[in-house]
């Protein structure tokens, strides 16, 4: 999915390869903007700006906007919008390949209507690689949104759930009807907001907040390894992994799980996000 257009602009036909479903319902747009709660001092990162319907409003609320759009057909409309506002930087490129951590000024909030094929990678990348981001307000397909804050032992719980919840806490979720988009998607959508724990003043277990920037890549590698074969026991997926110049044994993994009060044969979906951090520390994974 992607953003819409300012009034009076001509909208190019949606392209399936970019996952384009333009938000056109003005009432939904107004509700989305309220939920996003953009502040005057925010620097907004918007991905999938299209012709700039959302961008136009964000530019009126924020100090600055970085508007990313991969589809070059929208470049003229976005450049006109940038010239009109003066606080919009247009980036006609793939946000997943862009050095988002080098944007100036650095973004503080990600507000976007995200296409299915980039939503999860972009969220995870922005959490781990753009430390200046404190808040996310994103339109997602409902199925993807459910994964972000899924609970352990549920079907939706995955590596993404662990990584997102280690860094962030959910604030709100709003259902969005299919008719709010053109063309209407074949799936349900939601607008979800969440904030980085430090920004939210979280009271969650301290282990989650104690991950350093240097530890994040290793943590992500462990979680992805664990969920790579989610039906298998962790002693089999992590046992045998090379780490810190040594190879972990099945016995070491089993002992680390038992030390946390978990079954020796636990599977990844049984561990909470904080339990994964404890497991990593028990195994000297960092």
pLDDT of residue 11: 57
Which residue matches tokens 């307000």? Answer: 137
* CATH fold for domain 206-282: Helicase, Ruva Protein; domain 3 (1.10.8)
pLDDT at 149: 97
pLDDT for 187 equals: 81
Distance (Å, whole) CA 189 – CA 192: 10
pLDDT attached to residue 14: 53
**What is the block-wise mean pLDDT of the chain (286 residues), using blocks of 10 residues?**
46 52 79 93 96 95 97 95 97 97 98 92 96 95 94 97 96 86 79 83 48 90 95 95 92 95 96 95 93
Cβ count within 10 A of residue 28: 19
Instruction: State pLDDT tens for residues 171-202.
Output: 999 988 887 776 777 788 899 999 998 654 44
The domain spans of the chain are: 16-200, 206-282
Query: Residue 211's pLDDT is what?
Result: 83
Which pLDDT belongs to residue 210?
Answer: 64
pLDDT for the residue 6: 44
**What's phi and psi for 152, nearest 5 deg?**
-55, 155
At the top level of CATH, the class of 16-200 is alpha beta
Predicted local confidence at residue 201, as pLDDT: 46
């Amino acid at each position: 999915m992607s953003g819409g257009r300012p009034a009076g602009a001509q909208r190019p036909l949606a392209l399936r390869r970019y996952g384009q479903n333009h938000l056109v319902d003005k009432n939904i747009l107004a509700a989305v903007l309220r939920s996003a709660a953009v502040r005057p001092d925010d620097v907004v990162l918007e991905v999938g700006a299209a012709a700039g319907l959302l961008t136009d409003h964000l530019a009126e609320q924020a100090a600055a906007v970085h508007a990313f759009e991969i589809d070059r057909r929208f470049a003229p409309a976005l450049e006109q919008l940038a010239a009109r506002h003066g606080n919009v930087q247009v980036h006609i490129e793939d946000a997943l390949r862009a050095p988002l951590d080098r944007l100036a000024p650095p973004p503080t909030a990600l507000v976007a209507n995200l296409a299915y094929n980039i939503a999860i990678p972009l969220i995870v990348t922005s959490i781990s690689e753009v430390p200046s981001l404190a808040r996310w307000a994103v339109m997602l397909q409902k199925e993807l949104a459910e994964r972000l804050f899924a609970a352990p032992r549920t079907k939706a719980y995955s590596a993404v759930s662990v990584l997102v919840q280690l860094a962030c806490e959910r604030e709100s979720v709003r259902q969005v009807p299919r008719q709010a988009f053109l063309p209407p998607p074949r799936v349900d959508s939601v607008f979800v907001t969440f904030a980085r724990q430090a920004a939210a003043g979280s009271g969650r277990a301290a282990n989650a907040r104690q991950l350093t920037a240097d530890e994040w890549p290793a943590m992500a590698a462990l979680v992805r390894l664990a969920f790579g074969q989610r039906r298998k026991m962790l002693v089999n997926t992590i046992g045998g992994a090379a780490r810190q110049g040594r190879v972990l044994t099945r016995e070491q993994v089993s002992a680390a799980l038992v030390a946390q009060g978990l079954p020796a044969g636990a599977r990844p979906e049984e561990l909470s996000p904080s339990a994964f951090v404890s497991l990593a520390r028990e195994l000297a994974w960092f």
